[in-house]
Amino acid sequence: MTGNESVPCMQTVKVLQEFLDRELTAAEVTTVQGHLDRCPPCLKLFRFEEGVRRLVRIHCSRDCAPSSLRDEILARLKRSRA
């Protein structure tokens, strides 16, 4: 992906996951959003990544680990801290 914007596509792509995770500063969000507003290829990639995350959330969030697994993990953590 290339573009003639002030922020290169590679820089935007590098922080796209953090952007989707809402882990960027307000200034970084503004920069990435500005680039996405002006760069159709990067916007297309963003929408693809966002769609994949949505599908994973929809189809994988129904499955829960058994409570016994949670209890075992918490017990092991407690033992490891002792």
pTM of the model: 0.65
Residue 2: inside a domain: no
> Which structural domain, as residue segments, surrounds residue 76?
9-81
Structurally, how many domains does the chain consist of?
1
Three-point CA angle 39, 40, 42, nearest 5°: 70
Per-residue model confidence as pLDDT tens digits over 40-72? 999 999 999 999 999 988 887 776 778 899 899
Residue 22: inside a domain: yes
Per-residue model confidence as pLDDT tens digits over 18-46? 999 999 999 999 999 999 999 999 999 99
